[in-house]
Amino acid sequence: MEEKITISVIKADVGGLCGHTEAPEELLDVCDCILEEAVDEILIDYYVTRCGDDINLIMTHKLGVDNEKVHGLAWRAFEEATKVAKELKLYGAGQDLLAEAFSGNVRGMGPGCAEMEFVERPSEPVIVFCCDKTDPSAFNLPLYKIFADPFNTAGLVYDKSMIGGFKFDVLDIIDNKQVTLKAPEESYQLLALIGNLEKYCIKRVYRAKDNEIAAVVSSEKLNLIAGKYIGKDDPVAIVRAQSGMPAVGEILEPFANPHLVPGWMRGSHWGPLMPVSEDDARPTRFDGPPRIMALGFQLSNGRLIGPNDLFDDVAFKRAREKALKMADMIRSMGPFQPHRLPETMLEYTTVPEIMKELKGRFVEVEKKK
């Protein structure tokens, strides 16, 4: 049995400078120190970064997914970062740590988490995507394109490892159910579900011929966990590339044509997902527009070689310009749909209170005989 490596990306927003713009270096340094101490004992390697106000801990180890030691370590890093965030009176200090104390794993406790375990191939390219000001369903469209659309991924036609298609675990985030659908055979059923960003999000993708894990998304819904709005879910995803998986360029291709995602200001607006470099992942305009960054690594016996900041390239300049044009266009709608999210997706809403106040002022309208 060949030994398996796990890559775990655990993220949380524990404070911003200023407002919800960016997690500052001070917080990243604290996380770095905590993870550094755990190398050899728990981790093989790690990389700490941030996308907007979210800290992303990218970690490799041999302990499998949902491991208590790894999750406990991430929790401790976020707790220590929270202490500094509180000292500096950063905005929203500790906001994503919903529980008082760590218990077993971070699921349901606030932080988002994407993990996969596999036998490292002779050469193992992986891409870690980190987003800010959007939610996990932002990955539905690009993952469909990457793993089910031959107009995006030429390898679906030309690589015999992929011609058998891919399987998608689709999560119903409202009713807490999951279904697995296979493309290309069930691609219409798949689209019927994942085109609805209110209810469904892709959790995992597997290569059909051997069930090899290909992609995973953090799918925690903070507001559903906490029962109230306490921040957006700002997802992360891990995607394996090359040698029988989509090529790096096929994985990046969907982001050359920005799509509209839920999130942005107050987690309550549709906005274009703008692909940016690590340095440009600082949402400002109307707290956005929503951003995504892509860090490419090669694994070497679990060591993270890299990252290569993949959207830091002229090839994505036009996508950024297009996203900004889309932003101008949709911003002009202000509080009107379709800029504003539908009622069920609003993270902040005053509508129930307004309805309470106006209750007595609504009068029946006579029906036509």
**Active-site amino acid positions:** 13, 229, 232
User: With respect to ligand F6R, which residue has the nearer C-beta, 140 or 223?
Assistant: 223
Does 45 engage in binding with Mg ion (CB under 5 A)?
no
- Residue 186, binding choice from ligand F6R, Mg ion, none, Cβ under 5 to 8 Å by partner class: none
User: With respect to ligand F6R, which residue has the nearer C-beta, 217 or 251?
Assistant: 217
User: With respect to Mg ion, which residue has the nearer C-beta, 132 or 220?
Assistant: 132
Residue 343 phi, psi dihedral angles, 5° rounding:
-45, -45
Q: In which residue are the tokens 């490596």 written?
A: 5
- Cis-peptide, bond into residue 335, ω within 30° of zero: no
CA distance readout (Å), 314 to 214, 277, 321: 27, 11, 11
> In DSSP terms, which residues pair with 271 in a beta bridge?
261
Does 20 engage in binding with Mg ion (CB under 5 A)?
yes
User: With respect to ligand F6R, which residue has the nearer C-beta, 265 or 330?
Assistant: 265
Q: How far is the CB of 203 from ligand F6R (least distance, A)?
A: 21
Give the footprint of ligand F6R on this chain (CB under 6 A): 19-20, 133, 231-232, 265-267, 287
262: Cβ–Cβ under 8 A, 6 or more apart, which residues?
A: 134, 135, 137, 138, 197, 269, 270, 341, 345
Would you say the C-alpha torsion 306, 52, 113, 68 has a positive or negative sign?
Answer: positive
Q: How far is the CB of 278 from ligand F6R (least distance, A)?
A: 20
Does 13 engage in binding with Mg ion (CB under 5 A)?
yes
Q: How far is the CB of 114 from Mg ion (least distance, A)?
A: 15
Taking CB under 5 A as the binding criterion, the range among 112-120, 147-155, 229-237, 356-364 that sits at the site for Mg ion is 229-237
Taking CB under 5 A as the binding criterion, the range among 47-55, 158-166, 249-257, 331-339 that sits at the site for Mg ion is 47-55
Taking CB under 5 A as the binding criterion, the range among 103-111, 212-220, 223-231, 249-257 that sits at the site for Mg ion is 223-231
The length of the chain in residues reads 369
Binder of Mg ion out of 234, 287, 309, 347 (CB under 5 A): 234
Asked if 85 and 116 touch (Cβ cutoff 8 Å), the reply is no
Give the span between the Cα atoms of 14 and 106, in whole angstroms. 14
Does 149 engage in binding with Mg ion (CB under 5 A)?
no
- Residue 125, binding choice from Mg ion, ligand F6R, none, Cβ under 5 to 8 Å by partner class: none
Q: How many residues bind Mg ion (CB under 5 A)?
A: 8
Assign residue 230 a region (left: φ > 0; alpha: ψ between -120 and 50; beta: otherwise): alpha
Sheet harboring 54-61: ordered strands across?
43-51, 54-61, 4-12, 112-119
| CA 32 remoteness from chain centre | 21
Which residues here bind Mg ion, judged by CB under 5 A?
13, 20, 52-54, 132, 231, 234
